[in-house]
Amino acid sequence: MGLRVTTAPHSRLDALPASARPLLRVLGLVRYRFFLFAGLLPYLLGAAWAFSVERRFDPPAFWSGLLGVILAVIGVEAFNEYFDARMGTDRVFNPADLPPIPVGIFWIGCVAFAAALAMGIYLTMHAGWPVLVFALLGGLAAIFYEAPPLRWSYHGLGETVIALAYGPWMVLGSVYLHTGRFSWGAFWASLLPALSIMSLAVVNAIPDFHQDRLVGKRNLVVRLGRRRAVALYLSLAGMALAVVPAGVAAGIFPAACLMALVAIPLWLVSAKRAARTYEQPRAFIGAVRPIVACYVVAVGLFCAGILAGSWM
């Protein structure tokens, strides 16, 4: 999916047995992807909403669902790395800098997705058929983000699919696990991670503009150009933050959720750096990190505000 804020320690992998390298490589990527902008925070947001607003919480369902999310993210990272390598996206200008991707990465992804589906079927038996619908929708988004024949990211749909998968589908699915019903309030809450993660998908592709264009990956950055893509990611992140005070004013979210606005200075830092560096891929990392931190802080504090609201 483009630029990494952290990179895998290839020199350490070279010292490991060949059979262990693919799994450790994927896990090295998941550590970054999972905790910063994949499924963890939206899943926790849904659980927090169920616990504090709906007054329902099912610990076995929570832990089983969390395992399913982890397995799905492992599958996402394995497939993204494998199919990106097959298309040559990350090796257009630096073919010698990255080691070849073994086919074991692909099979790790297949096993992870199969295990995640098995967990989804188990939770469906526990909570009802809508869980399987959410699981299948998430699976279609994850598997075909880079993989043929759909390749969402190659047709300008990847960013929207990510927003849906890690926004409404993840949050509402998490809520449903505990409550057995849907909630419009939880839907509005899901817009914060949805818009934020869509913003991250856009900003993550800006440094890879030339590589993506050369291999035919027609994502939003390639379609819009880097300057307008900067405006897009900042607008999406700004709208995500605006969801919080709007929801508080409408009485949907507790006032404690306003803590999430502490992330605004991080948005400003990213905007300032992006304006200067969007044509310089390495320097642009200085704009990526603050917007990733903005997402983590905003959604994390929003979850804390939801929980705090139950005691206020």
297 residue type, one letter: V
| Spatial CA neighbour of 290 closest among 307, 259, 266 | 266
Model pLDDT, residue 9 = 42
The pTM (predicted TM-score) of the whole model is 0.84
- Digit-coded pLDDT (tens) for 67-100: 998 888 888 878 877 877 776 555 544 555 555 6
pLDDT band at 38 (very low <50, low <70, confident <90, very high): low
Tokens of 180: 């057995």
Give me the number of domains the chain comprises.
1
| 35/28: higher pLDDT | 28
* Spatial CA neighbour of 5 closest among 36, 49, 27, 26: 36
Model confidence at 29, in pLDDT bands (50, 70, 90)? low
- Classify residue 35: in a domain, yes or no: yes
Q: Is residue 1 part of a domain?
A: no
Domain-embedded: residue 3: no
Interval 31-38 mean pLDDT: 51
CATH number, residue 179: 1.10.600
Mean pLDDT score, 187-204: 95
Domain of residue 182 covers: 10-309
* Confidence (pLDDT) at 84: 73
Whether residue 4 is contained in a domain is answered as no
pLDDT grade for 41, boundaries at 50, 70 and 90: very high
Inter-residue contact 260 to 193 (CB < 8 Å): no
Contact 65, 177 (CB under 8 A): yes
Residue 173 lies in a domain: yes
Domain annotation covers residue 125: yes
Which residues fall within 8 angstroms of residue 123, CB to CB, at 6 or more apart? Answer: 61, 64, 65, 68, 131, 135, 177
Ramachandran region of residue 58, left (φ > 0), alpha (ψ -120 to 50) or beta?
beta
Tell whether 5 is covered by a domain.
no
**CA 274, CA 291: separation in Å to the nearest integer?**
10
* C-alpha torsion sign, points 131, 133, 136, 140: negative
Provide the pLDDT for residue 28: 60
Q: How far apart are alpha carbons 78 and 26 in whole angstroms?
A: 6
Mean local confidence (pLDDT), 111-129:
90
Residue 208 domain-assigned (yes or no): yes
